[in-house]
Amino acid sequence: MVQTNEKDNLDEFIKVESFIDEEREYHLDKSCSWVSDLLAELEENLEEKEKSPESRKMTVSLRIKRKEIPSYGEGLIVRGVFSGNYLTPCIKCLAPAAESVASDFESVFITNKFEDDEDLDETLSIWADNSELEVYFHDRGKCHVKKAVHEHLFLKINPYPLHSEECKGLCTKCGSDLNHNDCGHGAQ
């Protein structure tokens, strides 16, 4: 049984104790403040006048449940799927490039008492709930769910956005946008 939360809002910090072993599902979009913050961060290099808040989109769906994790105590299992559309400067000419990003992740928050555990660091995953779960740490039951989404989001974004496949870039001599003017410096 999947319970849907009608409010479809979730704080960026969630408490292990607020959840039960029955999975709850959340469908968030940019009306949720931290999802909106992630979008703003994706667009942070774009000039203010190029921003178009109506066209940027993001959805984050989360499935969350509490579970006893063998040898690590009580954990919060968070499975997420997200996708977004945003604008970012073209790496060649700085015009806005329309980008999209999508991914999913499976994670578990366990107590930060294990943070210094030699067998376990943040790059490690543990097998629980029939999945390989990426490990995050909670501080006295407080889980930073935004952090998990943030990490997967920024791993997935295109590092070389182009506003067009054929972008000609800027002239190295005079800085003209070669998509719009031919300053003549290219012809040798």
Residues 140-169 that bind Zn ion (CB under 5 A): 163, 167
Instruction: Return the number of the residue (81 or 94) whose C-beta is nearest Zn ion.
Output: 94
Q: Which stretch binds Zn ion (CB under 5 A): 43-51, 84-92, 101-109, 116-124?
A: 84-92
Separation between Cα atoms, residue 28 and residue 34, nearest integer Å = 10
Residue by residue, what is the 3-state secondary structure of the chain? CCEECCCCCCCCEEEHHHCCCCCEEEEECCCCHHHHHHHHHHCCCCCHHHCCCCCCEEEEEEEEEEEEECCCEEEEEEEEEEEEEEEEECCCCCCEEEEEEEEEEEEEEEEHHHCCCCCCCCCCEEEECCEEEEEEEEECCEEEHHHHHHHHHHHHCCCCCCCCCCCCCECCCCCCECCCCCCCCCCC
Instruction: Return the number of the residue (70 or 186) whose C-beta is nearest Zn ion.
Output: 186
Q: Does 183 bind Zn ion (CB under 5 A)?
A: yes
Distances (CA, A) of 57 to 4, 8, 23, 105: 22, 16, 26, 19
Instruction: Return the number of the residue (78 or 178) whose C-beta is nearest Zn ion.
Output: 178
Residue 159 Cβ, how far from Zn ion at the closest point, in Å? Answer: 15
Q: Which stretch binds Zn ion (CB under 5 A): 36-44, 109-117, 147-155, 176-184?
A: 176-184
Residues 89-118 that bind Zn ion (CB under 5 A): 90, 92-93, 95
Instruction: Return the number of the residue (6 or 165) whose C-beta is nearest Zn ion.
Output: 165
Instruction: Return the number of the residue (47 or 68) whose C-beta is nearest Zn ion.
Output: 47
Q: Does 32 bind Zn ion (CB under 5 A)?
A: no
Sign of CA dihedral 121, 124, 125, 126: negative
Q: Does 182 bind Zn ion (CB under 5 A)?
A: no
Q: Does 173 bind Zn ion (CB under 5 A)?
A: yes
Q: Does 120 bind Zn ion (CB under 5 A)?
A: no
Residue from 45, 174, 181, 182 binding Zn ion (CB under 5 A):
174
Q: Which residues bind Zn ion (CB under 5 A)?
A: 90, 92-93, 95, 163, 167, 171, 173-174, 176, 183, 185
